[in-house]
């Protein structure tokens, strides 16, 4: 461990400068305490990054490796001469509880939060050899633990922290069993997953390994009574025993530490590993958890194996003659994948998967005594303690060669899991595939080969030569995933080959079903149908996933050559080639299938392209679909609608082209003239003489129609749609043509209605009525009838109609009408005479008023002032208005020019200039003065229109003295 000296440690040995390829898995590093130690180590323990060292002088040193500057120095309550030196220490995996044993049988308990060890009175005199800690989570107490003694007894104890000095630490101590063959050298207790009331106990002695599993008792309250008594009394252990065990040989039971992460667990099983050191070697295996029955022990021991001591490398002795010396194994420890051995002064690591020695290094000097190997169960660190030094065994990428071992033992899944990098994974995949091929497992080999770099053609030929089409299909499906998107040609070739294989497989299964022949001895026709559905589903999934890697033309050719209609259409749909699908169904006149495809489309071009073929056969359904797509341009559908209309025979109410066009016009408010013209052409060309539908449409268009009036008029004339023509003429304002057309077809009532429409143009209206009257009189058999019809218009008089009657008509036939007309004339003459008299009187009154103007005057007082300049009025020329307002002529002119427009203002200035300079004389001067007076003095500027125009001017101007207006 290389630590900074300021933190309490100094590195005595550093790692050699090695690169990644030559870096060993294990390396032993020496660390030593910075402060001086007066005595040697006699015992040591490490757990959860906490290091506990016992010194021969009775001191206990506790060091937190995460914070090595803080060191606890703890003394036992009594002197070494009274209780003996510390013989052993036991630290639980969480470093919460420490038990200290002395050579004279005194045992002490120390909690992690305490610095004062307390004696365990119930365990006095018990020589503890091992402890199995409770597998539950750490608490303030140890809870139920198992204790193995040197006399062969196994005890159950319960130790809790006591805050009172006189209170005992050990709550109870219960003897469970005594093994007959010497001391208990190892104990282990763990839980069985899913069985909270079941425990497994492993016991190690010098010559035997015992395994018990069973239910434990349930105490009335925590720590109230023994829970393991039931297990030891009711269950018989499974035993592994060795012969000729040496009492002098080391015996030890160790268990692999917690996995640093989930991926480090052994792939074959998540179980822990145990290892038992005996005189014969190391006996190790997995701590199986299934089945949770008494047979579990027999299965566990049956699978375990022995690594004999003789298999480990011997030490060459020094001296004159070299010879190999086999040192005894004094201690062992388990890493995740290796077994560490301490043999003499050497540390040997053996891969437990293949018993291969991967590390062998001399660590201790001759004569140097070791305390043993120790493992931190939770932190996965490994330690070697001697009486004077501390070594850490550093592990570097321990699982680097696991994949090779797994590969050699043909555990390919496990090998692939631990393989790192493409090269290792490829080696595993290739070897796995070769192995599976040798076993005839072609399908399994296909998936493995697909992820390997083995030559494509070699693998493919292997499956082809052995007629393994299913395996070839699986291989290609796997292989295509290994190519990047940039490998376009490779992906297209593999994808096209897969299509061919899928089609052959589907045809083969179809043939089997049709002939009702069994495909194999284990596959009947029903199973073949299920397989057919599975393959078809697999093909569809393949197409969806790799549609971009399939060339359309090639794929169409392959599928068509096999006659697979369903797969052909599925592929076309998958690549959004709906044109192909629709063309396919339409060519085969499968209209319903084509409509099903069309219902799912949103691209307008598809509707425009295929409507012509569909509307002839499924017009109603097609129009339903078209009406659900308002984004369609009806103009582009006109060819299809006209083609349909040419072949349609039936009433307009059932014409689907009309239904669609009316929907576009009425619901979508289309103003496209082409759409409206198409509807008119269908209406006009229909063989029925009923014009009600066409007229109803024309009336809805109003005076500003969206259709082409000239085009509509030509169509209506061509197909003799008189009423429609008349309506169109009238909307165009051509009332005379409308009336004449109606009259030409003897539509007197219609002509009368049109004649009444130009209400704002009486002359035209009268002209129209005269035209109708002429037609009526020419067709009427009786004068009375014609006269009565003419009464419908208030503009026609009898004198207007007389020219239209034939010459042989006598006056007696319409004497009454003439008399009525003469009476009307007489009344009109009287009215005109009265109006003339009134006009004459008005003229006389005007003459009198004009004569009176010559005598009108106004009185001006001597102190009268001008309303503009407030100077005396009589000081110069002035004007006086009937409203008694008076102004100097120049002041009035100036004000008037401010009010009038630019033209009048300019004229006033010209007249003033002409008069003042005497440019004209005589009559012209008098005319100029009169004109100037007319412009300036036409009205008073204070109470005429001039004043109204100044309504928005303020009373107080900015130039005025505002104090004059102050209240």
The ranges assigned to domains in the chain are 243-312+325-400, 402-561, 595-814, 815-856, 873-965
Is residue 222's pLDDT more than 90? no
Is the predicted pLDDT of residue 742 greater than 70, yes or no? Answer: no
Q: How many CB atoms lie within 10 A of CB 290?
A: 12
pLDDT tens, 790-816? 666 555 555 555 555 555 555 555 566
**612 or 276, which is more confident:** 276
User: Which of 317-321, 345-349, 532-536, 642-646 has the weakest average pLDDT?
Assistant: 317-321
Longest Cα–Cα distance in the chain? 178
Q: How many C-beta atoms surround the C-beta of residue 913 within 10 A?
A: 10
How far apart are the C-alpha atoms of 407 and 397, rounded to whole Å?
18
pLDDT for 372 equals 94
- Structure-model confidence comparison of residues 228 and 650, the more confident one: 228
Q: Quick one: pLDDT band at residue 268, thresholds 50, 70, 90?
A: very low
**Tens digit of each residue's pLDDT (9 = 90 or more) over 918-939:** 778 888 888 888 888 888 888 8
Q: Which pairs from 114-122 meet CB under 8 Å and 24+ separation? A: 114/161, 115/72, 115/74, 116/74, 116/77, 117/60, 117/74, 117/76, 117/77, 118/77, 118/162, 118/169, 119/77, 119/169, 120/159, 120/169, 120/170, 121/168, 121/170, 122/157, 122/168, 122/170, 122/172, 122/173
Q: Which of 194, 237, 239 is nearest to 214 (CA)?
A: 237
In this structure, are residues 862 and 875 in contact, taking their beta carbons and an 8 Å threshold? no
**Comparing 215-219, 272-276, 354-358, 958-962, which segment has the lowest mean pLDDT?**
958-962
pLDDT, residue 5, reads 36
What's the CA gap between 146 and 817, in Å, rounded? Answer: 143
Residue 115 confidence (pLDDT) above 70: yes
pLDDT tens digits, 17-62: 434 445 788 888 887 666 556 688 999 999 999 999 999 888 999 9
Report d(CA 165, CA 155) in Å as an integer.
Answer: 25
In this prediction, residues 755-779 reach a mean pLDDT of 63
Q: Are 343 and 332 in contact (CB under 8 A)?
A: no
Instruction: At 884, give phi and psi (nearest 5°).
Output: 75, 10
Look at residue 1 in the predicted model and tell me its pLDDT: 32
Q: Is the pLDDT of residue 293 over 90?
A: no
Instruction: Give the pLDDT confidence of 512-552 residue by residue, as tens digits.
Output: 777 765 545 555 667 778 888 888 888 889 998 888 899 98
Identify whether the C-beta of residue 878 lies closer than 8 Å to the C-beta of residue 858: no
The pLDDT tens digits for 612-648 are: 888 888 888 989 988 998 889 999 989 988 888 888 8
Q: Is the pLDDT of residue 698 over 60?
A: yes
CA trace torsion 281, 286, 287, 288 (10° rounding): -140
Residue 93: what pLDDT? 93
DSSP readout, 886-922?
Answer: EEEHHHHHHHHHHHS-HHHHHHHHHHHHHHHHT-S-T
pLDDT at 778: 61
Residue 425: predicted pLDDT: 80
User: How would DSSP label each residue in 331-368?
Assistant: EEEE-SSEEEEEETTEEEEEETTTTEEEEEEE-SPTTP
Whether 176 and 256 have beta carbons less than 8 Å apart is answered as no
Q: Give the range among 56-65, 693-702, 948-957 with minimum mean pLDDT.
A: 948-957
Distance separating alpha carbons of residues 526 and 928, to the nearest angstrom: 125
Tell me what the mean pLDDT of segment 195-221 comes to.
89
Model confidence at 902, pLDDT cuts 50, 70, 90, reads: confident
- Summarize the confidence of residues 813-838 as an average pLDDT: 72
Residue tagged 């606890």 (tokens): 72
- pLDDT number for residue 783: 60
Q: Which residue has the tokens 């014409």?
A: 655
The model's confidence at residue 199, banded by pLDDT at 50, 70 and 90, is very high
User: What distance in Å separates the CA atoms of residue 793 and residue 770, rounded to the nearest whole number?
Assistant: 10
pLDDT band with cut points at 50, 70 and 90 for residue 896: confident
pLDDT of amino acid 784: 61
Residues 6+ apart with CB under 8 A from 545: none
Q: Is the pLDDT of residue 582 over 80?
A: yes
Cα→Cα distances 630→608, 620, 625, 942, Å: 13, 17, 10, 69
Residue partners of 667: CB distance under 8 A and separation at least 6: none
pLDDT tens digits for range 472-521: 988 898 889 888 888 999 999 999 999 999 898 888 888 877 776 554 55
> What integer pLDDT is reported at residue 363 of this predicted model?
92
Instruction: Say if residue 487 is exposed, middle or buried (CB neighbours under 10 Å; 0-12, 13-18, 19+).
Output: middle
State the average pLDDT for the chain. 82
Q: What is the pLDDT of residues 390-411, one digit of tens each?
A: 999 999 888 887 777 777 777 7
- Looking at residue 346, its pLDDT comes to 92
Q: What is the mean pLDDT of residues 828-833?
A: 81
Average pLDDT over residues 354-383: 91
Whether pLDDT at 751 is above 70: no
Percent of the chain with pLDDT over 90: 24
Q: Is residue 581 within 8 Å of 569, Cβ to Cβ?
A: yes
């Amino acid at each position: 461990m290389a630590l900074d000296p300021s933190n309490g440690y100094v590195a005595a040995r550093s790692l050699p400068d090695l690169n990644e390829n030559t870096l060993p898995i294990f390396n032993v590093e020496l660390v030593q305490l910075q402060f001086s130690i007066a005595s040697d180590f006699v015992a040591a323990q490490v757990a959860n990054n906490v290091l506990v060292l016992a010194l021969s002088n009775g001191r206990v040193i506790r060091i937190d490796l995460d914070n090595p500057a803080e060191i606890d120095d703890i003394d036992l309550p009594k002197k070494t001469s009274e209780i003996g030196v510390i013989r052993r220490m036991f630290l639980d995996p969480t470093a919460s509880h420490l038990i200290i044993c002395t050579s004279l049988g005194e045992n002490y308990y120390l909690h992690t939060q305490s610095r004062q060890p307390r004696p365990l009175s119930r365990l006095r005199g018990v020589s503890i050899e091992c402890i199995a800690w409770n597998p539950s989570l750490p608490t303030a107490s140890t809870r139920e633990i198992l204790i193995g003694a040197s006399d062969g007894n196994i005890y159950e104890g319960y130790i809790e922290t006591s805050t009172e000095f006189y209170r005992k630490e050990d709550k109870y101590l219960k003897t469970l069993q005594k093994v007959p063959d010497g001391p208990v050298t190892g104990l282990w207790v763990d839980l069985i997953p899913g069985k909270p009331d079941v425990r497994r106990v492993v016991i190690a002695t010098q010559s035997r390994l015992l395994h018990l599993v069973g239910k434990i008792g349930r105490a009335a309250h925590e720590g109230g009574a023994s829970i393991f008594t039931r297990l030891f009394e009711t269950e018989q252990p499974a035993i592994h025993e060795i012969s000729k065990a040496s009492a002098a040989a080391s015996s030890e039971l160790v268990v692999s530490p917690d996995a640093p992460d989930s991926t480090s667990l052994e792939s074959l099983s998540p179980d822990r590993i145990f290892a038992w050191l005996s005189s014969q070697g190391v006996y190790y295996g997995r701590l199986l958890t299934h089945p949770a029955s008494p047979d579990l022990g027999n299965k566990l021991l049956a699978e375990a194996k022995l690594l004999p001591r003789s298999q480990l490398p011997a030490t060459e002795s020094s001296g004159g003659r070299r010879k190999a010396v086999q040192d005894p194994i004094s201690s062992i420890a388990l890493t995740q994948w290796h077994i560490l051995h301490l043999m003499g002064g050497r540390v040997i690591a053996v891969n437990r998967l293949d018993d291969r020695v991967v590390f062998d290094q001399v660590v201790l000097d001759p004569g140097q005594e070791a305390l043993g190997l120790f493992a931190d169960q939770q932190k996965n660190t490994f330690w070697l303690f001697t009486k004077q030094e501390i070594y850490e065994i550093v592990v570097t990428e321990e699982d680097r060669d696991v994949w090779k071992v797994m590969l050699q033992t043909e555990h390919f899944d496990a090998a692939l899991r631990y393989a790192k990098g493409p090269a290792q994974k490829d080696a595993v995949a290739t070897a796995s595939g070769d192995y599976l091929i040798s076993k005839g497992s072609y399908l399994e080999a296909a998936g493995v080969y697909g992820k390997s770099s083995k030559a494509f053609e070699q693998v493919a030929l292997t499956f082809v030569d052995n007629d393994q089409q299913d395996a070839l299909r699986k291989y290609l499906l796997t292989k295509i995933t290994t190519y990047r998107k940039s490998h376009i040609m490779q992906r297209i070739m593999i994808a096209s080959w897969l299509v061919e294989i899928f089609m052959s497989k589907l045809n083969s299964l179809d043939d089997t079903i049709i002939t009702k022949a069994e495909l194999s001895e284990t596959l009947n026709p029903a199973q073949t149908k299920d397989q057919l559905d599975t393959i078809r589903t697999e093909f569809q999934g393949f197409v969806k996933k790799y549609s971009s890697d399939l060339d359309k033309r090639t794929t169409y050719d392959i599928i068509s050559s096999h006659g697979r209609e369903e797969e052909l259409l599925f592929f076309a749909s998958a690549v959004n080639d709906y044109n192909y699908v629709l063309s396919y169904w339409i060519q085969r006149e499968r209209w319903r299938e084509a409509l099903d495809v069309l219902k799912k489309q949103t691209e307008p071009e598809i509707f425009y392209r295929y409507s012509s073929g569909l509307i002839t056969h499924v017009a109603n359904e097609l129009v339903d679909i078209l009406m659900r797509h308002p984004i369609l341009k009806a103009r582009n559908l006109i060819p299809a609608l006209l083609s349909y209309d040419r072949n349609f025979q039936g009433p307009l109410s059932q014409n689907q082209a009309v239904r669609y066009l009316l929907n576009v016009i009425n619901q979508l408010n289309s103003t496209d003239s082409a759409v409206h013209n198409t509807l008119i052409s269908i209406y006009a060309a229909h063989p029925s003489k009923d014009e009600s539908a066409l007229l109803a449409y024309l009336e809805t268009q109003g005076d500003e129609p969206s259709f082409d009036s000239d085009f509509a008029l030509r169509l209506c004339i061509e197909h003799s749609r008189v009423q429609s023509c008349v309506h169109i003429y009238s909307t165009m304002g051509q009332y005379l043509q409308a009336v004449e057309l109606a009259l030409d077809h003897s539509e007197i009532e219609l002509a009368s209605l049109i004649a009444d429409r130009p209400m704002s143009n009486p002359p035209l209206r009268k002209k129209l009525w005269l035209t109708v009257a002429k037609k009526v009189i020419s067709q009427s058999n009786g004068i009375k009838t014609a006269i009565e019809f003419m009464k419908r218009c208030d503009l026609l008089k009898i004198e207007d109609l007389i020219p239209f009657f034939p010459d042989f008509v006598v006056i007696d036939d319409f004497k009454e009408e003439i008399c009525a007309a003469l009476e009307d004339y007489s009344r009109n003459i009287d009215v005109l005479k009265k109006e003339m008299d009134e006009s004459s009187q008005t003229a006389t009154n005007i003459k009198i008023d004009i004569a009176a103007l010559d005598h009108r005057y106004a009185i001006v007082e001597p102190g009268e002032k001008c309303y503009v300049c407030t100077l005396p009025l009589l000081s110069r020329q002035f004007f006086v208005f009937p409203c008694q307002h008076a102004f100097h002529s120049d002041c009035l002119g100036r004000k008037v020019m401010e009010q009038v427009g630019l033209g009048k203002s300019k004229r006033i200035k010209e007249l003033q200039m002409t008069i003042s300079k005497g440019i004209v004389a005589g009559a012209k001067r008098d005319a100029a003065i009169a004109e100037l007076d007319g412009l300036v003095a036409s009205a008073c500027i204070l109470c005429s229109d001039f004043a109204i125009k100044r309504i928005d001017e303020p009373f107080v101007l900015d130039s005025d003295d505002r104090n004059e207006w102050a209240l």
